[in-house]
Amino acid sequence: MPIHLIWGDDYEACNREIEELINSVIDSSWKSFNYSQLDGNDPKQNLRALEEAQSAPLGSGGRIVLVRRSPFCNGCSIELGNKLEQVIKLIPDKTHLILSNANKPDKSLKTTKLIEKSIQSNTLSQEKSFILPLPWDINGQRNLVKNILYKLNLTMNNETIDLMIESIGNDSSLINTELQKLSLFSEAINTNLTTDKPREISKELVKKLIQNNSTNALEIANSLLKGEIIIALNKIQSLLKNGEPALRLITTLTGQSRGWLWVHLLDSQGNQDVKEIAKLAGIANPKRIFVIRKQIQGKSLETLLELMKKLLKIEASIKSGIKPIDSFKDNLLTDSKTLANN
């Protein structure tokens, strides 16, 4: 009765882990019979998941019952908890129950203790967490890129990795997408390479395919900081029309805004250590601190906070499915005088 508890806010890494489990457990010829995905936000589907977990696989291979947004370790109802307690010992040896949630399991819950006890008693069971590094955790962000490089059989030197971080941030899904693009482009221009060794991605290629767009995004950020909203929106619209991914654009903008906030706060506290400021602000290159200081000179903390608030609203709006350009317009044109006058 293998149980897999997979949690964390790194959705890309969580999904990769789930896909690897599916591919290793299920015979593809029998997948339509032996794979179920259910939504933990729906109480009825949770009960259905427990019922299906009691079924042995059909044909060859194993069976997987996946519960996304699983409540079993994050606020489980008494009824569902009692049902889990009845079912957990009835799960067949070749049926795998995967419980996935973005949040850390609540160790105080009876259901969490029950699941963890079951995991410890079964060698095929496991608990894995995938947490995105914080914006100021440079080493964590570097390890994130390195892990994805390894999965894609690619390699980069540390300087190129730092350039990736500056251009994209810690969005693992976006990093994965961009690295796949870089790999395809590298393969196209190096057709004579047939070795199975990891393909090296050069700094020049990253500059050509990623940093150029990032530079344009930073120009937009500077326009927003100056209160030049219409100019910024025109540049945003142009980038989006040319195929710039909306999430990559907003990630770059929020990253720049976050850097401005950190430097402003630390400077106001009298911190003059450039290396320490860069570390706390999540800025790989300490020399950027001098540039940022010039950019935010004369700007109030309220202005920077307001800009950050708007950008986070835009990010949430885009992720909810709103058309990207509408998300930018709706939020940036609201009270735009606040940015312009400070």
Does pLDDT of 249 surpass 60? yes
Does pLDDT of 336 surpass 90? no
CATH 3.30.70.100 holds for 3-129: no
Q: pTM, whole model, 2 decimals?
A: 0.62
What integer is the mean pLDDT of 68-83?
A: 92
pLDDT on residue 187: 80
Could you tell me what percent of the chain has a pLDDT over 90? 47
C-alpha Rg value of the chain to the nearest Å: 24
Higher pLDDT among residues 116 and 274, named by residue: 116
Identify the CA nearest to 310 among candidates 322, 326, 328, 325.
Answer: 328
pLDDT tens for each residue of 91-102? 999 999 999 999
Cα–Cα distance for residue pair 252/105, rounded to 1 Å: 31
What integer is the mean pLDDT of 191-211?
A: 78
Residue in this structure with the two tokens 């976050």, named with its chain if needed? 258
Does pLDDT of 342 surpass 60? no
What integer is the mean pLDDT of 282-294?
A: 80
In this prediction, residue 75 has a pLDDT band, given cuts at 50, 70 and 90, of confident
Cα–Cα distance for residue pair 169/175, rounded to 1 Å: 8
Q: What is the mean pLDDT of the chain?
A: 87
Does pLDDT of 335 surpass 60? no
pLDDT on residue 208: 80
CATH 1.20.272.10 holds for 138-340: yes
**Do 114 and 85 touch, CB atoms closer than 8 A?**
yes
pLDDT on residue 242: 80
pLDDT on residue 174: 78
pLDDT on residue 216: 77
What integer is the mean pLDDT of 82-86?
A: 94
For residue 36, what are its two tokens? 């179920």
pLDDT on residue 275: 82
pLDDT on residue 46: 94
Measured over the CA atoms of residue 220, residue 221, residue 225 and residue 229, the dihedral's sign is positive
The domain locations on the chain are: 3-129, 138-340
